[in-house]
Amino acid sequence: MKEKNKKRLSGCPLAFGLDVFGDRWSLLVVREIMIKGKQTYSEFLEAEEGFATNILIDRLKHLEAEDIVTKSRDPKNRRRFLYALTNKGLRLAPIILEIVRWGSLYDERPEAMQGSLALVEKTSKEISGELAGSDIKRGEY
């Protein structure tokens, strides 16, 4: 059920990346899976940012169509779906880490989650270790 690729206006890699994962909600879905270990629609709805149901459904479909996440039936509850990152999605770990580093440096609000940087760095190292052994060529995931 992969949607047809959007017509992209340029060959710019930055524009391509922003088309695929560049909006706030898509990266937050990736964060929920990658850092917080969430797998189900109802778990995503519990995020602090408060996903609207229509936005969450749209982003999950988009990320699946772009091969960033996979969707499968939960073997324990066949009515529920589980979402997981593909290798292509896992390769977003360094990007997420850099955004967290940047936010940790410049977010001076008292409620800023400064302790999250250590967790993201640990997760990024684990993911990098997993991907280091895989021989992925361009276009594969």
Structural domains present in the chain: 13-132 (1.10.10.10)
How far is it, in rounded angstroms, from Cα 97 to Cα 43? 22
Mean pLDDT of 111-126: 70
* Whether residue 13 has pLDDT greater than 60: yes
CA dist 85 → 34, 65, 103, 120 (Å)? 7, 12, 23, 16
How far is it, in rounded angstroms, from Cα 80 to Cα 77? 6
86, 73, 56, 125: CA torsion to nearest 10 = -30
* Whether residue 19 has pLDDT greater than 80: yes
Q: What is the pLDDT of residues 31-62, one digit of tens each?
A: 999 988 999 999 999 998 899 999 999 999 99
* Whether residue 135 has pLDDT greater than 60: no
How far is it, in rounded angstroms, from Cα 31 to Cα 92? 10
**Is the distance from CB of 119 to CB of 99 less than 8 angstroms?**
no
